[in-house]
A = this chain, B = another copy of it.
């Protein structure tokens, strides 16, 4: 049941997203509190040595984090993230980011994301999330967009939705 909800939320996030689609991300799996995304390192993501810019590795991990932390249909944003770069990725590599919830307390969460190329570790990422008011799925008059902007003085000083839509795997 909750995994069905996670799938619906993922579809809604994807429908509104441009950034992750442009980067060619694909949704491999999503369930309550977890998400797996993959992305192929393209020619425009590398430097002259054919090595991926760390920012794209981060962006993939960040998208996996967003799908995992929004999977319960509560609008949830990133407060901050830490990434450790373990090995460089090369042009043409297929990177897989697996996000899992480690802790949830009040409106806060901690998610661990591991980025791999096959069996090789590429990066370890930890994200800190915070729920805003509102749900991702529209229900009658309330929508993700509206609830995002309605969350009052609290949300004015906090980062707002960074969800990254992803392509459903076929």
By DSSP majority rule, is chain A's interface helix, strand, loop, or mixed?
Answer: mixed
> Cα distance A59–B56 when bound, in Å?
7
Indicate how many identical chains form the complex: 4
CB of A40, distance to nearest CB on chain B (Å): 14
Counting CB contacts under 8 A, is A158 at the interface?
yes
CB of A75, distance to nearest CB on chain B (Å): 11
Partner of A159, one of B22, B43, B88, B162: B88
**Can you report 12 A-B residue pairs in the complex whose CB atoms are below 8 A from each other?**
A13-B47, A16-B47, A18-B47, A19-B55, A22-B44, A22-B45, A47-B161, A49-B160, A51-B160, A58-B62, A80-B83, A81-B83
Chain A interfacial positions (CB closer than 8 Å to B): 13, 15-20, 22, 43-49, 51-56, 58-60, 62-63, 77-88, 102-103, 105-108, 110, 112, 114, 121, 124, 126, 128, 144-145, 148, 153-154, 156-165
